[in-house]
Amino acid sequence: CSSDLAGGIRNGSYDIGLACGVESMTLREVGNPGNVSSRMMDNEKARDCIIPMGITSENVAERFGVTRERQDAFAFSSQQRAARAQRTGKFKAEIVPVTTTVTDDKGATRTITVTQDEGIRPSTTLEGLAKLRPAFKENGSTTAGNSSQVSDGAAAVLMAKRKKAVQMGLPIIGVLRSFAVVGVPPDIMGIGPAYAIPAALKKAGLTVDDVDVYEINEAFSSQAVYCIEKLGIPEDKVNPNGGAVALGHPLGCTGARQVVTLLNELQRRGKRAYGVVSMCIGTGMGAAAVFEYPGN
């Protein structure tokens, strides 16, 4: 969403706009790829586009040697970081409370206000993760514990030309410096960030080492670990407040949510800095964007 919006702002179609995304993963029908043409089955690459995402994770783990132990360790770190961030109030500035009515299994309704992410599990242990069974393949390494969890969410980012933002008295907390989308084999779609990030950095005239914080989506620990190691990114620079393993991955929401989390983290640090947002995309793509925080 934000890339299309930024493009429109750059070409003069408009001066300001909202990039919004929403997803309800809990309403998703597992195993149903949607209304797809039967002709897809006539082409190998097209068929690969509807491989279950969990199998693409297993493919990455097998082809690139990402062990179960490494995946579990990464997932454990994500949960711990997210729990610490939530406990210290880091997410409060980026979450808008939502009041809604819920109905339980017995038909009783009640009104609740959601003020924080519900999926973070502070009690997660490596021992507990090791006990989980493979979720997608017999003798596989991808489990419910080292994958992004099923969750619902929405996020929005306000973008504008600098002149318009100043005119309206809006705070400038980040500048979009570059954006890139790449294609990768659909059956290992999770490797997308490993190729999208270098493309975006090249456009911005930066190197991997120039970036202070990376928000790389944790669709699965297997692919996140591969991308981090492939690019040689220090792990303390990646998802310092946890990622999708702990926070969830509502597909349409993820990109905007990552931008919000990134810019808030850079703002807390106070100094001029660069940050990168990146995610893999089902059917074989990767996307990345480079942001600059101008400093306090």
Alpha helices for the chain (secondary structure H): 2-10, 44-48, 53-64, 68-87, 126-130, 162-167, 192-204, 221-231, 244-247, 251-269
Q: Is 249 a catalytic residue?
A: yes
Query: Residue 125: what are its φ and ψ, rounded to 5°?
Result: -130, 160
| Alpha carbons 129 and 125: distance in angstroms, whole number | 6
Judge contact between 64 and 185, C-beta under 8 A: no
Q: Is 1 a catalytic residue?
A: yes
HSE, CB side, 13 Å, CA atoms: give it for residue 94.
Answer: 27
| Alpha carbons 266 and 198: distance in angstroms, whole number | 21
Residue 271, classed as helix, strand or coil, is coil
Judge contact between 9 and 17, C-beta under 8 A: yes
Catalytic: which of 1, 20, 227, 253?
A: 1
119 exposure class (CB count in 10 Å sphere: 0-12, 13-18, 19+)? middle
Q: Is 227 a catalytic residue?
A: no
What is the radius of gyration, based on Cα positions, of the chain?
19
Helix%, strand%, coil% for the chain, nearest 5:
45, 20, 35
Catalytic: which of 20, 49, 249, 253?
A: 249
191 exposure class (CB count in 10 Å sphere: 0-12, 13-18, 19+)? buried
For residue 38, the one-letter residue type is S
Catalytically active residues are 1, 249, 280
